[in-house]
């Protein structure tokens, strides 16, 4: 297994707080001499490949309420990054909040690699599909025990959503259980990929 699939495979699979109302008077509006802070975020990692900058950070851009709806714990997020010479991946992993198994882990990898390049490398485990009308690849490798992935096209490249299930008895689950409901979770995340 080479290239970015090795990067994806090497990711360690792994709340919002609310404030009470405050009765202080409202702050004065900023004067024309006040400095205005830019809302543009600097990418976590930038490579020198000439490829597009990755504008989606899985640890920052998946809203907590959407993660909760998809049954993943926002507090469990673990960032990772893989700058390479010719491409980059930003990653984040999340632990499931509900599973019929002992543990589910979701790894989200945003990369400036095209969906076509991913197809060229992994057509043998991939099937063309779409998520909310967006081009995607459904990826199931029988040699990657209890793991299923959906890779989605983005403006900067692609995002891989890879889930691994860990039953408490360490058995290999039936293939139909590897991917169950993953497409529903990815459909919840898809609207946030190019914002």
* Domain regions of the chain by residue span: 49-127+141-195
In tens, the pLDDT along 43-97 reads: 566 666 778 889 999 999 999 999 999 999 999 999 988 777 788 899 999 999 8
pLDDT of residue 166: 77
In tens, the pLDDT along 176-187 reads: 888 889 999 999
Q: Are 182 and 148 in contact (CB under 8 A)?
A: yes
pLDDT of residue 147: 92
DSSP conformational letter for 117: H
Q: In Å, what is the CA distance from 37 to each residue of 34, 40, 41, 44?
A: 9, 9, 11, 18
How many alpha carbons fall within 13 Å on the CB side of residue 14? 17
Point out which residues pair with 99 in neighbouring strands: none
pLDDT higher than 80, residue 171 = no
Residue 141, token pair as written in the block: 């490798």
DSSP conformational letter for 16: -
pLDDT interval class at 106 (50, 70, 90): very high
pLDDT higher than 90, residue 120 = yes
Above pLDDT 90, what percent of the chain? 50
If you average pLDDT over residues 9-27, what whole number do you get?
A: 34
pLDDT of residue 137: 98
pLDDT interval class at 17 (50, 70, 90): very low
Q: Which of 10-14, 78-82, 109-113, 142-146 has the lowest mean pLDDT?
A: 10-14
How many alpha carbons fall within 13 Å on the CB side of residue 50? 0
Mean pLDDT, rounded, of the chain = 79
How many alpha carbons fall within 13 Å on the CB side of residue 184? 7
Instruction: Give the global pTM.
Output: 0.76
């Amino acid at each position: 297994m080479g290239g970015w699939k090795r990067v994806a495979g090497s990711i360690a699979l792994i709340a919002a707080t609310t404030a009470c109302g405050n009765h202080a008077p409202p702050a004065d509006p900023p004067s024309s001499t006040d400095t205005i802070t830019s809302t543009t975020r600097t990418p976590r990692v930038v490579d020198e490949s000439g490829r597009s900058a990755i504008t989606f950070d899985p640890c920052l851009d998946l809203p907590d309420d959407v993660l909760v709806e998809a049954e993943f714990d926002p507090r469990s997020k673990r960032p990772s990054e893989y700058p390479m010479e010719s491409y980059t991946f930003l990653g984040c992993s999340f632990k499931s909040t509900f599973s019929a198994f002992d543990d589910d882990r979701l790894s989200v990898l945003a990369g400036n690699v095209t969906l076509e390049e991913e197809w060229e490398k992994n057509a043998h485990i991939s099937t063309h599909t779409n998520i909310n009308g967006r081009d995607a690849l459904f990826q199931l490798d029988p040699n990657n025990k209890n793991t299923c992935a959906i890779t989605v096209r983005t403006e900067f490249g692609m995002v891989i959503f890879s889930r691994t299930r860990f039953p408490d008895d360490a058995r290999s689950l039936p293939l139909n259980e590897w991917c169950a409901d993953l497409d529903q979770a990815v459909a919840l995340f898809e609207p946030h990929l190019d914002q």
